[in-house]
């Protein structure tokens, strides 16, 4: 079974006893071996730049191509050129597939250097790298249509045909371990090439009719939400309300809403929804179900490229039979990040808690009648207070501290919430209803 690029580069490094670097034919970095030498000369500006910026300069590319590496079928030795920043001799192993150069493996040369037998063994590994690069290049040009068809088709003969076409295009890799990444919103209806995303088997754009989320609704100069941010109490807010009950400690990393991005009213409005919006779906190869690093790397880079985008990652699955389920999970995780930025910018479906259920609700669903009045803009501060209180498992001291108010002020606000909703915040089921209504309003 083929390994991924990093495994193959590490295999070459082990065969030759020197760190190897893999670049595609455009001199963009794909993978590199570990550098554990105490010798400063083990690196030079060209290699350092390649690793730090993930690409080489046009001048360096021209220098190396001048030694015929684009036509070579075997190792090419290239002498040092200090004037070009190349302070060490190099060996280039061309990566070819069916006679076409697709990339290069670079080694720092030293005397006595690798033997001919070692280099022959390394070239056999480059053949496997070439096959992977060829598969990825084919995916970048051929699989967007097939991938989109699988994600959008209803169950039935159309879905079966779309899935069969995707499996045929993927070849043996179709039975491997994958996950799906969703980046949303995506700024255009065009997907980048799979060649530009290491580990991607296929990419496509998908419709994204959901709102941009809390991150986009927050004013540009407003701070990001976190539990320690809160408005001071207004003068005259005093009184008594329900007694806080103990509960489980809430996990860190999920921010309480700030005043300007509390739950918004959803009854009778389509505010923030974009019927012409897009998201990006990415099918990512994995080495192991408990190692999501390739998906996280791809998601992070793509969400950064999208600007204000968020990213979600589905559960890992073997084979392609449940890609539609994986897409729903990835999209749900991205929606959760847009609703609560403290979860992101990249979240996997297993980590989004109640949003796993809430994102399954029908879009535009009217809020429960008892909570609808609280979700009106006029009561945004009360809604925020209730949400922070419930996020803090009903612990009054924690909630008051997170809100920056006196505990008696908290009790007064909660009593107003009870009067508006008719709910009893000493009752578990009423708390659950209110908490889910507030979280659902964020979506």
330 band by pLDDT with thresholds 50, 70 and 90: very high
pTM, full prediction: 0.55
Quick check: 280 pLDDT over 60? yes
Across the beta sheet with 90-97, what order do the strands follow?
Answer: 29-32, 20-24, 100-108, 90-97, 76-78
Domains and CATH numbers, the chain: 5-135 (3.30.450.40), 139-213+271-358 (3.30.70), 228-264+364-442 (1.10.10)
CB-count burial class (<10 Å; 0-12, 13-18, 19+) for 121: middle
Residue 49: predicted pLDDT? 52
Average pLDDT of the residues of the chain: 77
Quick check: 197 pLDDT over 70? yes
Mean of the pLDDT values across residues 339-365?
84
Residue 2: predicted pLDDT? 39
Residue 256 or residue 268, greater confidence: 256
Residue 276 or residue 237, greater confidence: 276
Spatial CB neighbours of 402, under 8 Å, sequence gap ≥ 6: 227, 228, 230, 256, 388, 391, 392
254 band by pLDDT with thresholds 50, 70 and 90: very low
What pLDDT, in 10s, does the model give residues 19-52? 889 988 888 888 877 555 555 455 555 555 554 4
Residue 138: predicted pLDDT? 61
Looking from the CA of 118 toward its CB, the CA atoms found within 13 Å total 14
Quick check: 244 pLDDT over 60? no
The most confident of 23-32, 97-106, 241-250, by mean pLDDT:
97-106
Spatial CB neighbours of 322, under 8 Å, sequence gap ≥ 6: none
- The residues facing 78 across adjacent strands are 90
226 band by pLDDT with thresholds 50, 70 and 90: very low
62 band by pLDDT with thresholds 50, 70 and 90: confident
Residue 196 or residue 335, greater confidence: 335
What pLDDT, in 10s, does the model give residues 112-153? 788 999 999 999 999 999 988 887 766 545 578 889 999 988
84 band by pLDDT with thresholds 50, 70 and 90: low
269 band by pLDDT with thresholds 50, 70 and 90: very low
């Amino acid at each position: 079974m083929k390994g991924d690029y990093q495994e193959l580069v590490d295999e070459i490094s082990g065969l030759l006893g020197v760190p190897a670097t893999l670049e595609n034919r455009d001199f963009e970095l794909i993978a590199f071996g570990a550098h554990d030498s105490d010798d400063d000369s083990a690196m030079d500006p060209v290699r350092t730049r390649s690793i730090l910026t993930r690409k080489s300069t046009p001048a360096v590319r021209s220098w190396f191509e001048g030694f015929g590496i684009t036509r070579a079928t075997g190792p090419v030795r290239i002498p040092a050129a200090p004037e070009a920043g190349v302070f060490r001799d190099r060996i280039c192993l061309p990566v070819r597939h069916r006679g076409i150069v697709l990339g290069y493996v670079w080694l720092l040369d030293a005397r006595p250097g690798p033997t001919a037998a070692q280099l022959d063994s390394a070239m056999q590994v480059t053949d496997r790298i070439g096959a992977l690069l060829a598969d990825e290049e084919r995916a970048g040009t051929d699989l967007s249509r097939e991938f989109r068809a699988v994600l959008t088709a209803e169950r039935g003969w159309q879905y079966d045909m779309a899935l069969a076409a995707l499996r045929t295009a993927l070849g043996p890799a179709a039975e491997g371990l994958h996950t799906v990444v969703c980046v949303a919103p995506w700024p255009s209806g065009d997907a980048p090439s799979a060649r530009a995303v290491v580990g991607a088997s296929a990419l496509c754009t998908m419709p994204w009719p959901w709102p941009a989320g809390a991150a986009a609704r927050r004013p540009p100069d407003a701070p990001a939400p976190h539990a320690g941010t809160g408005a001071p109490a207004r003068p005259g807010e005093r009184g008594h309300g329900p007694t806080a009950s103990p509960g489980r400690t809430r996990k860190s990393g999920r921010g309480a809403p700030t005043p300007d991005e509390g739950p918004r009213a959803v009854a009778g409005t389509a505010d923030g929804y974009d019927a012409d919006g897009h998201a990006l779906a990415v099918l990512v190869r994995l080495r192991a179900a408990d190692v999501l690093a390739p998906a996280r790397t791809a998601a992070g880079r793509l969400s950064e490229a999208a600007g204000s985008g968020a990213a979600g990652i589905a559960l890992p699955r073997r084979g392609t039979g449940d890609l539609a389920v994986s897409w729903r999970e990835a999209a749900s995780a991205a929606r959760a990040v847009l609703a609560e930025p403290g979860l992101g910018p990249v979240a996997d479906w297993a980590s989004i808690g109640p949003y796993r259920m809430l994102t399954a609700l029908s879009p535009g669903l009217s809020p429960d009648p008892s909570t609808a009045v609280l979700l009106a803009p006029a009561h945004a501060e009360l809604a925020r207070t209730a949400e922070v209180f419930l996020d803090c498992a009903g612990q009054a001291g924690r909630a008051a501290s997170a809100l920056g108010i006196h505990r008696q002020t908290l009790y007064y606000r909660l009593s107003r919430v009870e009067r508006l909703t008719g709910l009893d915040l000493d009752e578990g089921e009423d708390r659950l209803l209110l908490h889910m209504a507030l979280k659902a309003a964020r979506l």
